[in-house]
Chain A
Amino acid sequence: MTLATLAAGVVQVVGGVLGAPAIVGLIQHLKARLQGRRGPSVLQPYRELRRLWGKSGVTPEPHTFIYTVAPAVAAASTILALLLLPIGGHGPDWGLGHDALVLIGLLALARFAITLAAWDTTSGFALMGGARDLMFSVFVEGLLLLVLVLLALPLHSTDLLSMSHAATLPEVWSRPAHWAAAVAFCLVIVAETGRQPVDNPDTHLELTMVHEGPLLEYAGRELAYLQWSAAAKHWIMLVLACELVIPNPVSFAAQVAVLGGGVLLLSVALAVCETVQAKMRVLRVPLLLGSGVALCLLGLASWFAGGGG
């Protein structure tokens, strides 16, 4: 194992498990500043997690073991998804491979567990959010797969490491297919992390919730798992964007610097986007994602117009 792989492994675990809540904190903080408020500190999510960790739970009646296991399943599949991510084009082999489709499958498993828990409590608010989340996922997964086709074109592989390597090739700068994938991936980020205009993460009105809805009945450590998973999903999506979409330098150290800067920049972009954009109607979101699909197909056409591989 080379030093770079080892360092990548450390970033995977430390950045993903410990650093992810800071992204959410940063976005919240910046958003408050942009709106002229002082806002909570960047470390607020950590404080909330600590508070939740010390609290006892609440088990709603009725419930079955599915309600109890769901937060653990969501957190476990998110942890495994973290370990598949490339960091600076490297990543230790945890025995899990580095396949993009496996990562999507793990995220789907987390979503399945959370929405099933919503059914288990019979809470109408939870199901409202769950049903919307599943409806979005149909369009998000279709779009995400098209983005992956575009990003896999240069090296003919869905291995995240080689896809990340493809982003270091100098010619990606001049390929419209790559930029189409970049724009479409931005839509995927917004939808998957539940940010405006798709979903409003700061809402306290149950009727408008999407991703928070199924979390309503949870408390204590189980809620801590779910909140951490939501934060870790930000990390996963932003790191994927930086590794696969942003053109990267070749050397490992420079790549890690680009990764850090990219995650920071994208967090700022999300905060700005949330400040200037109102939440859109739930039923219009598929239209937004559909425009991403059209863009991807244009990108594919441009690939062949440019002479292919």
Chain B
Amino acid sequence: MPLHSWLPRAHPLAPAHISALMSGVMIKLALYGLVRVLFDWLAPPGLWVGITLMAVGALSCLGGVLYALMQHELKRLLAFHSIENVGIVALGLGASLVFADIGQPRWSAIAFAAALLHALNHALFKGLLFLGAGAFAKAVGGLELDRLGGLLRRMPWTGATFALGAMAIAGLPPLNGFASEWLTLQSLLHLGLASQMGVAFAGALATAALAGTAALAVYCFVKVIGLVLLGLPRRAECAQAREVPVGMRASMVFLAASCVALGVLPGLLVPTLAALGPGRVTLHEAAGLNIPGTGSLPTLVLALALVALVGALVRLARSRRAAPAPTWTCGQPPAAGLQWTSAGFTKPLRLVLEALLRPRRELRVIASSGVVEALAYQAEVPHLFDTLLYGPVSRGALRGARIARRVQSGSLRTYLIYLLALLGVLLALARTGVLG
């Protein structure tokens, strides 16, 4: 952000595996360029560059996830999440530059490693999510969130791996998204502890922004999993969806396994990544992340303890018989049409942030002689960067082009006059000595 306008439009048009590559590799090329320029050629680029990068990163991650939450199409939603995740990487890189500038090479290296780890993690879970989206599109055709539902029962493999990817991108323990977000958050928080007031404020604000982003991502992926995988099918195609072939399943399972592996053993990779950063700092290798100044993140123990406890508790609860009963919906049987929609689930946030998001809604009541015959309701959350920035700019550019076009008459004689006039002006300028 704010140069992101093309991305949410490009993703829904590309096929799923291309989208996976786009978000995994193509977007990272820009980050690679950024790292090369800032950390290699311009090093050290100065404090303001780091702070600016952090500001752009915070704007991207908050804005990206906020608009992702308001989307009703799966691939468009995922595209906005790419913006969010690149923003998180930018926060890490910015923090690394600032740490280098205020003379803390160790934290600079850690923030750098956090950024690279998050870039890698993003490639994994976003690839997984796009492949999953592709599998759903193949099975039911169409990825409108409000017209899916109940797919976990029909497509258990795709559904389970997709849910795992969603947990990873939402930054929940013990998966890889949590490890890299933890590391990024720690470096931002320690930036907030710096002894320069401006740097500390930037760090504290970025910390709060990233925490808000993480919570928003949880909100968003609860919505996605709920609408796509759970509940009753909202369309006949969803009720008859078929699991995709083994080849597609295998690639998703592989990516899901990588998400788990990097979530459980991030400590094996982080020292290598940190050594790449400025300062050439070495951290010692372990399964978890044990960094002085933090309470350490022992990912392996955490994951094992979670799995063991959940297993034991489920066994304890399951030892009782349970009677089936329909969900209570005030007496009527649960029906697909009564289920919540994407817009409904995000409504509390939309109301709170109304001044910021400026949603548009339109309600038309067609009544004849006091009886309401039909209701038409339309609502959308317009993308403000499009309506307030790119709209006026592109309209202005077109208007400018229209004025400029008057000069081009198409007749050769006019062009010869232009040339002669230019020659005359140049000669005059040369004579007066302006051109030297």
Chain A interface (Cβ within 8 Å of chain B)? 55-62, 64, 66, 68-69, 71-73, 75-77, 79-80, 84, 94-102, 104-106, 108-109, 111-112, 115-116, 118-125, 127, 130-132, 134-135, 137-146, 148-149, 152-153, 156-161, 216-217, 220-222, 225, 282-283, 286, 293, 296-297, 300-301, 304, 308-309
Contacts and interface: CB of A to CB of B under 8 A. Distances in A.
Given A127-B345, A135-B349, A102 B231 contact: no
Contacts of B207: 145-146, 149
Interface string B334-349: 1000111000111111
A140 B214 CA distance: 12
Q: Which of B170, B190, B322, B323 has the most CB of A within 10 A?
A: B322
A99 B297 contact: yes
B422 interface: no
B205 to A, nearest CB: 8
A131 B193 contact: no
Contacts of A125: 328
Nearest to B334: A122
B230 A66 contact: yes
Nearest to A67: B230
Interface in B218-234: 218-219, 222, 225-227, 229-232
Contacts of A130: 222
B115 interface: no
A134 B226 CA distance: 14
Given A80-B306, A297-B204, A216 B293 contact: no
B436 interface: no
Interface string B248-281: 0000000000000000000000000000000000
Nearest to A115: B222
Given A102-B182, A217-B328, A112 B218 contact: yes
A60 B230 CA distance: 13
B112 interface: no
A125 B340 CA distance: 10
A108 B215 contact: yes
B314 A96 contact: no
Q: Which of B185, B200, B208, B227 has the most CB of A within 10 A?
A: B208
Interface in B286-307: 288, 290, 293-298, 301-302, 305-306
B192 A149 contact: yes
Contacts of A159: 293-296
A68 B315 CA distance: 11
B352 interface: yes
A99 B197 CA distance: 25
Nearest to A71: B317
Q: Which of A123, A125, A134 has the most CB of B within 10 A?
A: A134
A146 B208 CA distance: 6
Q: Which of B171, B185, B211, B218 has the most CB of A within 10 A?
A: B211
Contacts of A80: 302, 305-306, 309
A29 B287 CA distance: 47
A120 to B, nearest CB: 5
Q: Which 9 A-B pairs have the closest CB atoms?
A: A119-B226, A99-B295, A76-B309, A57-B322, A72-B313, A159-B295, A97-B296, A145-B211, A135-B348
Interface string B364-396: 000000000000000000000000000000000
A122 B301 contact: no
Contact of B230 (A59, A109, A116, A134): A116
18 contacts: A61-B326, A64-B152, A80-B306, A95-B305, A97-B296, A105-B171, A106-B173, A116-B226, A119-B226, A120-B230, A122-B230, A123-B329, A138-B216, A142-B211, A157-B294, A225-B313, A283-B351, A297-B201
Interface string B134-177: 00000000000000001011000000000100010011110000
Contact of A79 (B182, B185, B309): B309
A59 B310 contact: no
Given A66-B152, A308-B195, A138 B186 contact: no
A184 to B, nearest CB: 11
Nearest to A122: B231
Contacts of A225: 313, 317
B68 to A, nearest CB: 13
B232 A97 contact: no
A57 B323 CA distance: 6
Contact of B346 (A73, A124, A131, A141): A131
A160 to B, nearest CB: 6
A129 to B, nearest CB: 10
Given A64-B152, A116-B222, A158-B186, A145 B325 contact: no
Given A73-B310, A135-B352, A62 B150 contact: yes
A309 B190 CA distance: 14
A73 to B, nearest CB: 6
A124 B340 contact: yes
Contact of A161 (B195, B295, B351): B295
B324 A59 contact: yes
B417 interface: no
B432 interface: no
Contacts of A161: 295
